[in-house]
Amino acid sequence: MRKTSLALAVAASTLGLSQVAFADLVGDTKVSLEARNFYFNRDFREGAGQSKSEEWAQGFILRMNSGFTEGTVGFGADAIGMFGFKLDSGGGTGGSGLLVPDRSRNNGLGSQDNYSGLAVAAKAKVSNSTLRVGQMQFKNAAIASSDSRLLPQVFEAGHVVSQEIDGLMLEAAHVREVNNRNSNDYEDIGITTGGRRGITTVGGSTTDSFDFIGGTYKLTKDLSAGYYYSNLDELYKQHSFNVVHVLPLADKQSLKTDLRYARSTDDGNRSNVDNKAFGAMITYGLDGHAFGLGYQKMSGDTGFAFINGTDPFLVNYVQIGDFANKDEKSYQARYDFNFASIGIPGLTFMTRYLTGDNIDRGRGVSEGREWERNTELMYVFQEGALKNLGVRWRNATMRNNFSRDIDENRLIVSYTLPLM
């Protein structure tokens, strides 16, 4: 902590900041270090092609979010330092997404021994509005950075957030490049074209510009709504809507309704995107239990469009699949249990089953079908020497009649140490 304060003091002196300004800058600064140990095993159940993707890696993520200097306009900075290295990757079992691919090893299925990244963003604040310029993560209906592997996905952008009106959050951004979760470098932004979503592009599937504008409004303490417009230059335009309502029923009982709709179209002549995506998730909560039912429907000439590598804003996006193929209809049943309700805080369990059908596989071919089952068990130590140590096991089974069948296990052990 002393070294961090000294570094900020030098920066403040260089910028000519007053002692009062420096005190606010440092006093509100948060610094943490996460150590993330990740084992990934994906077993392809049919004989053709790669039979298994299996890797084990260790990552470190240092996050720093500074406060702001005193004055009408406050200044600060955020940073994410990332480093990951290989613990084990057998011959020909790469491609897990944990590590940077090395096409020169193991018949093109190898991985590099280590990789790193640094994301730094300068920020300025006026009243309750903040501008950030640099590298950052996003999480909204238009774009959500993936953090489901060893190191997180980061974008290079300019981003403004305004919260001048109570309950209303507005934001807009211009995004130029992405550093994916298994990459050393920033690169152009791409559109997802895989599966049976039927999306085709001309002149490549990447571009150097993505823009979004939108926000959320909390109408009451139980009801919120959101809207975002986004544009992946020359590839797609999208309007996204979301309404969430939580209805208190009785003591420790509630009914949550989450409705989502997105309309996606092409942006010029480089793609054929044309999709309507509707999703609904209803969850009944009873003490530590939660019972959920979900429905998702795709219509139009293609499946759902979103930025490659990100987490799509869909109720049926789960561990392996997103159930967003052309014309697909899918259903989800989910159960969660929080063991804190019976005196074991930090322990949680989740299981869900999804099935999808009516997938357009092309003329003269029967409809596509798929199903996926997920189970997750997680424990975070609440006190003692191991406080903040989390152990998480994720298991999935995916079956379909148009792609590869998969059995998957992920074991993640993470420890977050607050430094400041």
pLDDT in tens, 181-213: 999 899 999 999 988 999 999 999 999 999 999
The sign one gets for the Cα dihedral 202, 205, 211, 216 is: positive
pLDDT, position 104: 78
Residues 57 and 81 in one domain: yes
Q: What would the pLDDT profile of 156-181 be if each residue is shown by its tens digit?
A: 999 999 999 999 999 999 999 999 99
User: Which candidate, 420, 350, 408, places its Cα nearest to that of 149?
Assistant: 408
Structural domain of 369:
195-420
Residues 233 and 362 in one domain: yes
Q: Is residue 18 part of a domain?
A: no
Residues 270-278, mean pLDDT to the nearest whole number = 97
pLDDT, position 19: 55
pTM (two decimals): 0.92
Residues 221 and 149 in one domain: no
Does residue 10 surpass a pLDDT of 50?
Answer: no
Cβ neighbors of 111 (< 8 A, separation 6 or more) are 55, 86, 89, 94, 98, 99, 100, 101, 102, 105
Greatest Cα pair distance in the chain: 74
User: Which of 253-257, 266-270, 277-281 is predicted least confidently?
Assistant: 266-270
pLDDT, position 281: 98
Residues 201 and 264 in one domain: yes
Q: What would the pLDDT profile of 302-330 be if each residue is shown by its tens digit?
A: 999 999 999 999 999 999 999 999 999 99
Q: Do 118 and 72 meet the contact criterion of CB atoms below 8 Å apart?
A: no
pLDDT, position 21: 56
Model confidence at 376, pLDDT cuts 50, 70, 90, reads very high
Q: Could you tell me the CATH number of the domain that includes residue 153?
A: 2.40.160.10
pLDDT, position 90: 72
pLDDT, position 195: 86
